[in-house]
Amino acid sequence: MSKQSVNLLQGDIKSGLLRFALPLFLGQVFQQMYNMVDALVVGNLCGENALAAVTSTGSLIFLIVGFFGGVYGGVGVVIARCFGAGDEYQVKRAVGTAVLGTVLSGAFLTLLGYFGSPILLRWMDTPAEVMGDAMDYLGIYFLGILFVVLYNSAVGIFQAIGDSKRPLYYLIVSSVTNVALDILFVGPMNMGVRGAALATVIAQGLSASLAFFRLSRAEGAWRVTLKGLCLDKPLLKEMLRIGLPSGVQNSVIAFANVMVQSSVNVFGSAAMAGNGAFIKLEGFAFIPVNAFGSACTTFISQNIGARQFDRVKKGAKFSVMFSCGCAVVIGIVFFAFAPQFIGLFGKSPEAIASGVLRARICTPFYLLLACSHGIAAVCRGAGYSKVPMYIMLGAWCVLRVTYITIVTNLFHDISLVYAAYPMTWAVSTACFLWYYNKSHWLERVQANYTV
């Protein structure tokens, strides 16, 4: 075990999860700074249209990148189980398979994003005054997307062995670099949204380089070497079995959000800018829940591999309850200070009003969103990644898109568009709670791992 790792297989469950989740939380804070700083600098130095271009591309980026991010989640689960079982040979093979698969998928993603994003931007009814900046931003971003997937792969390996600290160190360095380059490129060098995208790509390349430099010098079975690169078919099949549903889920949800973004675009650049600012803030504010969900998935995966099912049950319960508690606090703070938070991204009264409206509609229901995410994290750690895929596909895609289609054809009211989120969160939470309490998921896991 790495000296930086937290032992999730022994000791107090609550303190172990919290100690493991804290670096994940801080790391995601710096991760969010990539997009947050882009939006802040562009919004204040380049104006409303440029801000709309940068922020409105988020759902499109996640549509393409989210699929692979979900698949990498399956990679982490498999490596964590092998690690928990103490099988060093399988850890080595799983790491080699993960890295080679990442390189291949990253090359494919570069081509897909670079050539496909202009088509999707037009399909989203992106306004003409925003289209040029949006295409410039996405073009540069996707040319450097290989760095993103390589870093995410490295993070998955570190987290699988219980090391959540080193990814944090690398993100701190790259985030500071991103801030400095954003200010330089967009400010004195007057490069606009291209400068913001280039700063992000350079910073992401730095974090990926630091992570793989360390992995190439690791002393355990998770060391990355050229000789160790492979495609182990049984392990790859298991990674895809667990990760593919999460990837499909991410892309389908992102597709639904692209539909919502298309409906927002109809209301003009001010609405786009305000909604985009809210999305940046929401991603930042919901970090504690996301970080604890990642910690929960790793904890459950390792302890299933070690056949410690009592710890699995206790860890799952604590994780869901803690996530819900965090969401309540986040929702109260965000609701109260929404005008000040949204105002950080620009001074347009219309944009601020649109962002605040969405905040006031969505934040009171963050408890529902956290409950869905928490139980979904438990399901993934247990290997039941199809469950969150089916639930979120039905609630967050089919139902959300159907609702949006109906209300936008009947009413020209952006508040009804924003209401799609809490409504679909309520449906998914009801489904997840039923599954968690009635499906006997842990008994089935235990039966599968009992020899």
Instruction: List pLDDT tens digits, range 2-46.
Output: 556 678 888 889 988 888 888 888 877 777 766 667 677 777 777
- Asked whether 14 and 158 are in contact (CB, 8 A), the reply is no
Tens digits of per-residue pLDDT, 388-412? 889 988 998 889 889 988 988 888 8
Q: Which of 24-38, 55-69, 264-278, 296-310 has the highest mean pLDDT?
A: 296-310
- Residue 56: per-residue pLDDT: 67
396-403, Cβ contacts within 8 angstroms, sequence gap of 24 or more = 396/252, 396/253, 396/256, 396/424, 396/428, 397/252, 397/253, 397/255, 397/256, 399/423, 399/424, 399/427, 400/256, 400/259, 400/260, 400/424, 401/256, 401/259
- Of residues 177 and 119, the one with the higher pLDDT is 177
Burial label for 164, CB within 10 Å (0-12, 13-18, 19+), is buried
Residue 108 — very low, low, confident or very high, per pLDDT cuts 50/70/90? confident
For the cut 80, the answer to whether the pLDDT of residue 71 exceeds it is no
Q: Would 7 be classed as within a structural domain? A: no
Contact (Cβ atoms closer than 8 angstroms) between residue 298 and residue 76: yes
Contact present, 257 and 62 (Cβ < 8 Å): yes
Residue 236 neighbours by CB distance under 10 Å:
20
The arithmetic mean of pLDDT across residues 283-297, rounded, is 83
Lowest mean pLDDT among 58-67, 222-231, 245-254, 290-299: 58-67
132 part of a folded domain: yes
| pLDDT band at residue 291 under the 50/70/90 scheme | confident
Alpha-carbon distance 104 to 86, whole Å?
29
* Stretch 92-104: mean pLDDT: 90
Is residue 29 domain-resident?
yes
Q: Is residue 2 part of a domain?
A: no
Query: According to the model, what pLDDT value does residue 424 have?
Result: 93
Contacts of 287 (CB under 8 A, 6+ apart): 25, 28, 29, 32
- The range of the structural domain enclosing residue 34 comes to 13-446
> What is the pLDDT at residue 389?
86
Quick check: helix, strand or coil at residue 226?
Answer: coil
Least confident of 268-282, 294-308, 322-336, 433-447: 268-282
Instruction: Please give the C-alpha separations between residue 231 and each of 11, 74, 101, 217, in angstroms, as whole numbers.
Output: 35, 15, 7, 21
For residue 327, count other CB atoms closer than 10 A to its CB: 24
pTM for the model stands at 0.77
Quick check: is 4 in a domain? Answer: no
H-assigned helices in 306-348? 309-336, 338-343
What total number of domains does the chain contain? 1
Euclidean distance between the first and final Cα of the chain, in Å? 26
- 6 occurs within a structural domain: no
Residue of higher predicted confidence among 72 and 391: 391
**Quick one: pLDDT at residue 431?**
94
Residue 5 falls within a domain, yes or no?
no
- Is 63 part of any domain? yes
HEC sequence for 418-440? HCHHHHHHHHHHHHHHHHHHHCC
What's the CA gap between 288 and 449, in Å, rounded? 31
pLDDT of residue 363: 92
pLDDT value of residue 329: 92
